[in-house]
Amino acid sequence: MGGKSGEREVSLKTGCNFMESLKRSGCTVASFDIDDQLIRNLQEYQAELVFLALHGKYGEDGTIQGMLEMMGLPYTGSGVLASALAMDKMMSKRIFAYENIPTPKGVCIHIRDLEKEDRGLIKERTLQKTGWPVVIKPLLEGSSLGVTIVRDPDDFWKAVEKAFQYDQIVLVEQFISGVEITVGVLGNNEPRALPVIEIVPVLGGFYDYESKYTIGGSDHIIPARIPQEVQELASKLAIHTHIVLGCRGYSRTDLIVDKEGVPFVLEVNTLPGMTETSLVPDAARAAGISFDELLLEIGRLALE
């Protein structure tokens, strides 16, 4: 838990929830932060299973997963490759496109591009591919950190610079107006979808960091107020993305449903938040699964 990404505070909250739940279930637990003593601590503790409560860089991108693989320790959530693919929003988009999974158009801008090319040309070339308006976000970051919806062309570079504070590569993505939904998925070889949740931000215009992690920052509506056939399609897409990326245990797919009722996959979270305001626990409760039961199921899937 913890880690070094911009999502450290969220990770600590998730980790504390994990600790309390596992203790209630009779498990012997210990918590470890990501520091230079981590490998030694894990070896000395002789853990039977590592519950990953990490988010963002070094925790959700395959880094910690690779270390645990080398140590021979089982862990919750997806493996190295699936974690890395899901974290890289552009790489996952390419996989979605290959699999005919609807996803908004996107173009990457590297910070080095600004040194080699005229900004006007970069902007023009980018918007020719994405259209207008756009969403600008760091390529390798989560929890909506550094994300801006840009409707005024004069704000384009301001939003890019904001995203560069979190990563050296930013994703400029086609903005699709519609209903924000998310679908949690549980399972390995035969994954199943949890109830579809509609997300209504209360504090801002979209589901940003503050809306996600402030109590009362957003409303989670279950079932989502969209037609049943759209809910079923969204669930199928979430299961499909879970499978094609090679996810294990659990994941959460974020989507936007446009005015025509078409769901577009935005991204997949391989270690979704598990705080008191998080979506996967809400979806599980709607399916009759308590938080404690959910964690035990995630642990069981990790040991399959």
Look up 155 and say whether it is catalytic: no
pLDDT the model gives residue 217: 57
Give pLDDT, residue 143.
Answer: 53
Task: Give the DSSP letter string of 16-70.
Answer: HHHHHHHHHTT-------SSTTHHHHHHHHT-S-B-----STTTSSSHHHHHHHH
Q: What is the pLDDT of residue 278?
A: 84
> Along the 304 residues of the chain, how does pLDDT read in single tens digits?
666 766 777 788 888 889 999 999 999 998 888 888 888 888 888 889 999 988 877 888 899 999 999 999 999 999 999 999 999 999 999 999 999 999 999 999 998 888 778 888 888 888 889 988 999 998 876 556 788 889 888 888 889 889 888 888 899 999 999 999 999 999 999 999 999 999 987 655 554 444 444 445 578 899 999 999 999 999 999 999 999 999 999 999 999 999 999 999 999 999 998 876 789 999 999 999 999 999 999 999 999 8
Q: What are phi and psi of 212, to 5 degrees?
A: -70, -40
Please tell me which residue in 5, 11, 21, 143 is annotated as part of the active site.
143
Q: What is the pLDDT of residue 204?
A: 55
**Residue 31: what pLDDT?**
87
pTM of the model: 0.87
Domains delineated in the chain: 8-76 (3.40.50.20), 84-102+177-302 (3.30.470.20), 106-174 (3.30.1490.20)
**Catalytic, out of 75, 209, 213, 250:** 213
44 among known catalytic residues: no
Separation between Cα atoms, residue 215 and residue 201, nearest integer Å: 11
**Active-site residue identified among 269, 278, 282, 299:** 269
Say whether 115 is catalytic: no
Distance CA 272, CA 88 (A): 15
Active-site residue 75, yes or no? no
Q: Which of 211, 251, 252, 278 is catalytic?
A: 252
- 47: CB partners within 8 A, 6+ apart: 30, 73
Looking at this protein, which amino acid is placed at residue 224? A
pLDDT of residue 214: 47
State yes or no: is 254 an active-site residue. Answer: yes
**Catalytic-residue membership of 17:** no
